[in-house]
Structure 1
Amino acid sequence: MSNFMEMTKSEFIKKTIMIVLGSFICALGINLFIIPSHLLSGGLSGIALIFQYILKIPAGYTILALNVPLFIISFIKINKKFTLFTGIGTIALSVSLIITDPLSKTLSPVPNSNMLLYCIYGGVLSGLGLGLVFTNQGSTGGMDIVSMLAKQKYDMELGTITFIINFIIVSIGSLLFNFEIGLYTLIVMYSTSLVMDKVIKGFSKQKMLLIITNKQDEVSNAVMNNLRRGMTVLYGEGAYTRDRKNVMYCVVSLRQLPKVKQLIKKIDEDAFISIIDTSEVQGKGFTSPF
């Protein structure tokens, strides 16, 4: 509760706007591509879609109804901050699904030749939306609450719980409709998780460099003056020779990588350079895309 109280009003408004925006984008993915294809999605949304296909009840209403008891349990068992942002995300997703429901009829029926495209685009939009929601400490409710409760009670990994739930949903969909629907749904889930992971970790690829050179000052000055990137010197020792070596640490953008290699090799052709992928960097000179 203290973390919630420490949040400023502007931070709360920003997170709320991003959660609502993410929920709306997710709803677009569902109504524009997933529902016209008669496919499913992960979590409670997948269950709501099964109800919509069989009973003709719009998914937005089902998601809202199924989440009410989960909110109460979450408020008591988990924490108020999680429940608040989950409530915002769930209401925003439900309302967005209801508002954008007419779009699900504009692209129906979907030709079999276009099914793969609809799977990919539906997954990409859903992943983008969910990524925005999760990046801002939100959730769309449902299975996120169930997963958190299961983790507390049975000490299971969240990823394992989510996989089990989604596997059950795909299995039910395959039995109720056909096996092909289940296979296409797996593509939707995969593309959703792939894009969501990219949004959460960041789209910009950064590279971490570890440099060992005898011309430390010249290299650091060249990098700092030409690329405006800071460098940190780590003190190490050769395992075989036991000689003291200075290891220079630096993070650059992908576009700057060719330039920094050129600068280092121009100063010291014998310099040892290790280049490592970095999924996310926070701090001066590296800003989040959202």
Structure 2
Amino acid sequence: MFLFEAKRILIVIFGAFLNAVSLNLFLIGANVYASGFTGTSQLLSSVFIDFFGIGISTGVILLILNIPVAILGWYKVGRGFTVYSFISVIFTTTFLTIIPVEQWSQDIILNAVFGGVLGGIGVGMTLKWGASTGGLDIIAMVLSRMKDQPIGKYFLIINSIIIALAGIIYEPENALYTLVALYVSTRVIDAIHTRHEKVTAMIVTRKADELQQAIHDTMVRGITILPARGAYSKVDKNMLYLVITRYELYDLERIVSEIDPNAFTNVVETAGIFGFFRRND
């Protein structure tokens, strides 16, 4: 467990490093903005410098914005997820301070594409190991647990605001290039993590009750338990059938491995659902 957690922390730190490289060497110099709170921090930093003459770095603003969000995540999402997410934010801020802001290419398209790719890899790796880059990820998870709405809806809203402000405050072209960077990073994140907002998990286990309780202790999701029987062993088992968001996939994998390492789990993409998604107490 110690080695696993150590590896997880190293991956989160490496993801933070890639995010910082994406920003300082590609996006910031070209006035192209990232997604979520990172892009918001970029935009605020640019506004403070250009309009008020106050030099506040993107990393410092990112850290300030994430403090109240971390408190929210601690109580509403989970302590482990929030701690690792805040580690990501702290190291992103540190790397943004250490790495100089340079523009490696004068071609804004190259900056948008390569910045989007590196940022997408950093975010995708972080999500895959059960953490996030903080900010909007935590807010989206909280809202998705309160309301049965796609997480992508909240990303779309704040990213649309970033794109609009980038076009209004600066050049309209910046909004278009920001859209390119956001599209590239989203595609990379989906390729590394998972493509759909929701996935369906089918778990064949002999410890259905223990798994059901552990899952409900962590996430508010309905579960259907079906009888199952091994074709070769002829042993009676149960199959847990549930739909979760992609942000909960890591938690589910952890729970299954802890409760029943011998369980068979199949995770498939879910294009859409009808009926109840949340558990009704």
Q: How far apart are residue 201 of structure 1 and its match?
A: 4.9
Structure number with greater Rg is 1
Aligned to 1:41: 34
Matches within 5 A, 1:128-147: 128-147=121-140
167, 173, 187: which one aligns with 1:194: 187
164, 167, 176: which one aligns with 1:183: 176
Across the two proteins, how many residue pairs are aligned to each other?
Answer: 192
Deviations 1:74-115 (A, max 9, x none): 111221111111111111211111111x1x2354xx64xx11
* CA distance in 2 between partners of 1:106 and 1:191 (Å): 19
Aligned to 1:99: 98
* CA distance in 1 between partners of 2:65 and 2:98 (Å): 19
The SS at the match of 2:102 is helix
The SS at the match of 2:122 is helix
* CA distance in 2 between partners of 1:168 and 1:28 (Å): 24
The SS at the match of 2:176 is helix
2:70 aligned with 1:71, yes or no?
Answer: yes
Q: Normalising by the residue count of structure 2, what TM-score does the alignment of the two structures yield?
A: 0.64
* CA distance in 2 between partners of 1:128 and 1:75 (Å): 25
2:90 aligned with 1:88, yes or no?
Answer: no
91, 108, 115: which one aligns with 1:122: 115
Gaps of 5+ in 1: 1-7, 203-233, 235-277, 280-290
Aligned to 1:20: 13
The SS at the match of 1:183 is helix
Give the partner amino acid of 1:187: V
Gaps of 5+ in 2: 49-54, 196-230, 232-267, 270-281
Q: How far apart are residue 150 of structure 1 and its match?
A: 1.7
Q: Normalising by the residue count of structure 1, what TM-score does the alignment of the two structures yield?
A: 0.63
- The answer to whether the Cα contact below 8 Å between 2:30 and 2:103 also exists between their aligned partners in 1 is no
Report % sequence identity.
29
2:167 aligned with 1:168, yes or no?
Answer: no
Aligned to 1:32: 25
Q: How far apart are residue 71 of structure 1 and its match?
A: 0.9
Structure 1 segments (4+ residues) deviating >4 Å:
none
Deviations 1:165-204 (A, max 9, x none): 21111112111112111100000001111122222259xx
Deviates more, 1:149-158 or 1:90-99: 149-158
* CA distance in 2 between partners of 1:201 and 1:175 (Å): 34
